[in-house]
Structure 1
Amino acid sequence: MAADNSTRRVGADLAPNDVRAVRLDEIDHVILAQLTRDARTPNNALAELAGIAPSTCLARVRSLVDRGVIRGFHAEVDPAALGRDLEAMIAVRLHADARHHMAEFADRMAAAPDVLDVYFVAGADDYLLHVAMRDTATLRDFVVDQLSARPEVAATETILIFEHIRPRERR
């Protein structure tokens, strides 16, 4: 199963099938809970858990993808296995007069190979970047060359991640 991993951009108009308007029933919640625990759950097993026929389950999963409830299916790879042992969160504040470049900034950061996630946030900062780097020199170079050198960037703050603990089962 493939899904479009596109994301809504800052200031973009909401799609007619905006997920905030999507109604989910109990069966949808069962399907989503299981796929959140294990996105590789076979359709037959997923159907059995939800108490529906496999063909119905497949149609429901496709509908959840089409409606944007399921954003995608992916493998979570430990960055250390790729030689990127140092993870950090970098808070980025843009200049007030650069607000019209926010989507461009987010796209550029999302395309950077060491950036794992880009979060548009409320508060003093505009973005949080989750990055994984080879070492501190690479992290320093990224902050200096890719962030601080950008004219739209007003400030950054880097927070090192010692350990990322993901809940085993989401409720």
Structure 2
Amino acid sequence: MPADRATPPATFASASNFVRSLDDVDRRLLRALAADARMPNNALAEQAGVAPSTCLGRVRALRESGVIRGYHADIDPGALGRPIQAMISVRLQSHARGHIPDFMARIAELPEVLNVFFLGGADDFYVHIAASGTENLRDFVVVNLSGNPDVALTETNLIFEHVRAGLEH
């Protein structure tokens, strides 16, 4: 980010209630790590315009405070034999509102599930899955969602293509 475009600091809080503001250096570090989490510390420090020791301390603080939640490999589900992706909206029965944490945990453990999003609005969840085929997709919806007495409604949308957006937007 150019130096002449100052932006107000974003605020974050971790589970330990630690609160601090992100400054421009933190944002540069996060953008670089979002693009390449395997970037060596010296290259990361150079991109952020800080010393390697400062970079190391900043990244450690961002991890400890919960801003950096982890590092992962972005693997094509098709390479793992699950080429069909879908986003399934789920609405729970009104009497099942107390079961939300259990529902999320149970669904997140299923092998087809890539992400579970808890929503505000008409639907309660989006469940992003990768299935091995149409039968696997159908069985997932019928057995794990429609067959669940807490679920009132599901709507399945196939994902034709997925492009990961960067933080530059």
Give the alignment's TM-score, normalised by structure 2: 0.88
Q: Relative contact order: is structure 1 or structure 2 higher (C-alpha 8 Å, sep ≥ 6)?
A: 1
Kept in 1, the 8 Å contact 2:90–2:125? The answer is yes
Residue 15 of structure 2 corresponds to which residue in structure 1? 15
Correspondent of 1:68 among 66, 69, 76? 66
The residue identity in structure 2 corresponding to 1:56 is T
Tell me which moved more, 43-52 or 95-104.
Answer: 43-52
Counterpart AA for 2:124: D
What is the aligned partner in structure 2 of residue 92 from structure 1? Answer: 90
Q: How does 1:75-86 map to 2 (within 5 A)?
A: 75-86=73-84
Shift of 1:16: 4.2
User: Could you tell me which residue of structure 2 aligns to residue 107 of structure 1?
Assistant: 105
Structure 2 letter corresponding to 1:66: E
Deviations 1:119-152 (A, max 9, x none): 0011111000000000010000010001111111
CA distance in 1, matches of 2:160, 2:15: 38
| CA RMSD after TM alignment | 1.3
Q: Given residue 17 of structure 2, which amino acid in structure 1 is its aligned partner?
A: N
Residue 170 of structure 1 corresponds to which residue in structure 2? 167
Q: Secondary structure at the match of 2:111?
A: coil
Q: Distance in 1 between matches of 2:111 and 2:20?
A: 33
Deviation, 1:70, is: 0.8
| Structure 1 unaligned spans of 5+ | 1-13
In 2, Cα distance between equivalents of 1:32 and 1:17: 21
Deviation at 1:108, TM superposition (A): 0.7
Q: Could you tell me the percent identity over the aligned residues?
A: 55
Q: Give the AA of the match of 2:60.
A: R
Letter in 2 for 1:126: D
Question: How many residue pairs align between the two structures?
Answer: 155
Question: Which residue does the alignment assign to 1:3?
Answer: none
Which structure 2 segments of 5+ residues have no match? 1-13
SS at match of 1:27: helix
Worse-matched range after superposition: 71-80 or 45-54? 45-54
One-letter code aligned to 1:137: E
* Segment of structure 1 superposing worse, 50-59 or 101-110: 50-59
Deviation at 1:32, TM superposition (A): 0.5
Q: Tell me how far apart the structure 2 counterparts of residues 16 and 165 of structure 1 sit (CA, whole Å).
A: 34
Aligned partners of 2:89, 2:128: CA distance in 1, in Å? 9
1:55 Cα offset (Å): 1.6
- State the partner residue of 1:48: 46
Partner of 2:105, secondary structure, is helix
Matches of 2:121 and 2:158, distance apart in 1: 20
